[in-house]
Amino acid sequence: MAIFFCRQLDAGQDLNRRSLEKELGSRIRFFPLPCSGRIEALHLLKALESGADKVYLVTCPVGACRYREGNVRAKKRLAYAQGLIEEIGLERERLELVVPSVPPRTTIDRIARDLLAEETKLAPSPLRVKERGEERRTGKGYRQEGVRR
């Protein structure tokens, strides 16, 4: 699971996310953004390519963006990326927008725990690199582990 989020959501986000990353290990990855409007479709696609089964984009509540339109831009870019992954045969649900409610403020730790609790069961990402001894994805197609070209 990969979570891209706006740093403005949680003043203590650095400490909160690091403790959760330490607790859950490689099961979760956080990517703080100065504003969720700075996300590009490529960032979301790279997270899927890197093996994330699901990618979340957490924005500020509607009307609470420090940069006025960041959450609106983020929503449009996520929709564009969903269209791209649908074209290649992946489910749109692999990319999801999360808009927390207006105050009381919540921490990124709490949002992530809620997302983990309600995690939908998607099949493992077909883009995930397989374990050692099996085929591994490379830049130029597939090759068998241990076989040189």
Q: What is the pLDDT of residue 56?
A: 95
Query: How confident is the prediction for the chain on average, in pLDDT?
Result: 82
**Residue in the block written with tokens 């269209």:** 83
Euclidean distance between CA atoms 74 and 56, whole angstroms: 11
Tens digit of each residue's pLDDT (9 = 90 or more) over 17-63: 888 889 988 889 999 999 999 999 999 999 999 989 999 999 988 88
In this structure, of 30-39, 66-75, 82-91, 136-145, the range with the lowest mean pLDDT score is 136-145
Domain ranges of the chain: 2-143
**Helix/strand/coil for 22:** helix
Tens digit of each residue's pLDDT (9 = 90 or more) over 86-102: 999 999 999 999 998 86
Euclidean distance between CA atoms 118 and 105, whole angstroms: 20
And the tokens for 1?
């699971």
Top-tier CATH class for 2-143: alpha beta
And the tokens for 146?
């241990």
